[in-house]
Chain A
Amino acid sequence: MATELAARISALSPVRWPSQSIAGAAVLLLAVGFSQVIGATAAVLAPLWLLGMLAGFALQRSRFCFASAFRDLFLFGQSRILNGILMGLLITTLGFALIMYQQVPFPQFGALPAEAHILPVGLSTVIGGVLFGVGMVLAGGCSSGSLYRVGEGYVASGVAVLGMVLGLGLLAYQWNWWWETLVRHEPKIWLAEALPGGYGAAVALTLAGLLAVFIAGLWWETRNGLFMPSVSKEAGDAPDGLGARLAALWRRVFAEGWSPVVGGAVLGVTGLLMYLAYQPFGVTGELSRWAQHATTSLNVGPGVLRGLDSIGGCAARSDEGGVFTATFAITVGLVVGALVAALFAGEFKLRFPRQRRRYAQALLGGLAMGYASGLAIGCTIGAFFSAIPSLAVSGWVFGGSLAGGAWLGVKILQRIP
């Protein structure tokens, strides 16, 4: 059966290098096996590892990219990936509300759901968002984007991740200044508490906001005369019989790219399950932990960072000890999931940019992203994709600032050939 399936797949595809699929199957088996190893540390880590893998798989398959979602609005007038993000946010907003309601049924009394990403909102959010937006456009991908591209074999994305770790490390030394100057004075505004209508009003307002962004994106695309033209491709045979239908299904999931809306939906469900199992989706915490481990093991650590335990979000997880933690499971699992997806699709390749300046762009962009995500307590995932469904005002402010930063980044990028 398996060989027949493989034969049918290779018959459908013009070029097929099955070695990548075999490697993909091997990595998948090893990674699923590893979930048992990591699960021995704490049971919750096994499902989190698999969810991280699923997130990476979905990101790779749908070529999801927060950087391009914001950047392409300004560069090409395209809102395609933005719609994927909106789909993910629609699912997580409804799901997060249910989870938060279980924890805090009466939001008006001032208690916040402990794990939700309700972050301080103020000037630090704006500075962080703008700086992050510039960085992700320069580096060619945000934090989750650079991580999953590492799994696909993009060497420059690895440089961007290194830059992020350095940037997070750098911020740690200056954190106490930011804390005293800005962050400690900034309120955590939770819509469910702030609005008289509680959860109902907060969810309705969030959904209305998402709808407004969707319509604005559509208007912007129409204004720019953009639509997906019909593309001539070699057409495969219409599926006939169980084997062929399975092969066609296989191709749709593993070989052809998913639409961003499908990717956003899978990512949304994944984020929701992560919250159910542990905490909302975030990747900055793990990178920040690497930075912290590096500096403290060299005995040049930044010392006590004030206020972090009162903030929550990605910051609260960065001081977890040991190697196998929840953030490790999610962040490293994401890279492995993207590797599996890229191998099955025959899209894995070690890619070295030809121009040396691309490495500098990746490093500088990564540095900016790292510093900014330390300041804003999260990246496009933690401070945006997990913050808006937490019904936090900070998510919207960070998102708007990201768009501003992306616009600025585009202006810079257009000057770099």
Chain B
Amino acid sequence: MELDVRGEVCPYPMMKAVEAMKRLQGAEEVVVVTDHAPCLQTIPPQAPRHGYEVGIEQTGTPEWRITLSPKAGVVKAPS
């Protein structure tokens, strides 16, 4: 799923990303689209706790796509 949180500032992008990871439980990739640079530091540490890996790609100035992909082996079906 894609979370477009452009225009949102801390802590909403992280709250929404964490919420999505909790809900999906590794069933699906979460892509966070943000123009708020602090997210690059605050979202990644949350990923391993929910069984996700992180990739960051800069897609604009300023815009980033933070890809949270389920770690292999910990994929769980949503309950």
The chain A residues found within 8 Å of chain B, CB to CB, are 13-17, 20, 63, 65, 67-68, 71-72, 75-76, 78, 80, 140-141, 149, 154, 156-157, 224-229, 231-234, 257, 345-349, 351-354, 358, 413-414
Q: Which of A16, A63, A413 lies in contact with B41, CB distance below 8 A?
A: A63
User: With A and B bound together, what is the CA distance between A28 and B53 in angstroms?
Assistant: 39
Question: A141: nearest residue on chain B (CB-CB)?
Answer: B9
Q: Which A residues touch B18, using CB under 8 A? A: 76
Total cross-chain contacts (CB, 8 A) = 103
Are A15 and B60 interface neighbours, CB within 8 A?
A: yes
Distance A233 CA – B44 CA, assembled complex (angstroms): 12
- Describe A's contact surface by its main secondary structure: loop
Cα–Cα, bound, A197→B56 (Å): 52
List 20 additional contacts besides A157-B9, A232-B53; criterion CB under 8 Å.
A13-B58, A14-B57, A17-B61, A63-B38, A68-B11, A76-B11, A78-B45, A141-B10, A225-B48, A228-B41, A229-B44, A229-B47, A229-B48, A232-B54, A345-B37, A347-B61, A349-B61, A351-B9, A351-B36, A414-B15
> How does the 8 Å CB contact mask read for B32-54 relative to A, with 1 for contact and 0 for none?
00011110111011111100011
**Residue contact A227 to B48, C-beta cutoff 8 Å:** yes
- The answer on a CB contact under 8 Å between A347 and B54 is no
Report which residue of B7, B49, B54, B61 has the largest number of chain A beta carbons within 10 angstroms of its beta carbon. B61
Which residues of B have CB within 8 Å of A16? Answer: 61
**Contact residues, B1-15 vs A (CB, 8 A):** 6-11, 14-15
Q: Are A20 and B61 in contact (CB under 8 A)?
A: yes
The smallest C-beta distance from A74 to any residue of chain B, in angstroms, reads: 10
Check if B61 sits within 8 Å of A229, measured CB to CB. Answer: no
Cα A417 to Cα B11 in complex, Å, equals 11
Mind listing 15 A-B residue pairs with CB under 8 Å?
A: A67-B10, A72-B11, A75-B15, A78-B45, A226-B45, A229-B47, A257-B40, A347-B61, A348-B62, A349-B61, A351-B36, A354-B7, A358-B8, A413-B11, A414-B15
In the complex where A140-B10, A257-B40 touch, is A229 in contact with B56 (Cβ < 8 A)? Answer: no
A16 to chain B minimum Cβ distance, whole angstroms, is 7
B37 and A257 form a contact (CB under 8 A):
yes
Smallest beta-carbon distance B36→chain A, Å: 8
CA distance A228 to B56 in the complex (A): 13
Enumerate chain B interface residues (CB-CB to A < 8 A).
Answer: 6-11, 14-15, 18, 35-38, 40-42, 44-49, 53-62
Chain A residues closer than 8 Å to B38, beta-carbon distance: 63, 65, 68
The interface residues of chain B lying within 8 Å CB-to-CB of A75 are 11, 14-15
List, in ascending order, chain A residues with CB within 8 A of B46's CB.
Answer: 76, 226
Q: Which residues of A contact B36 (CB under 8 A)?
A: 351
Contacts of B44 in A (CB 8 A): 228-229, 231
- Smallest Cβ distance from A65 to chain B, in angstroms? 7
Contact status A15-B49, CB under 8 Å:
no
Known interface pairs A78-B42, A349-B35, A351-B35. Does A140 touch B9 (Cβ–Cβ under 8 Å)?
yes
Chain A residues with Cβ under 8 A from B45's Cβ? Answer: 76, 78, 80, 226-229
A234→B64 CA distance, assembly (Å)? 13
Q: Which residues of B contact A413 (CB under 8 A)?
A: 11
Question: Is the CB–CB distance between B62 and A347 below 8 Å?
Answer: yes
Write the chain B residue with the least CB distance to A232: B55
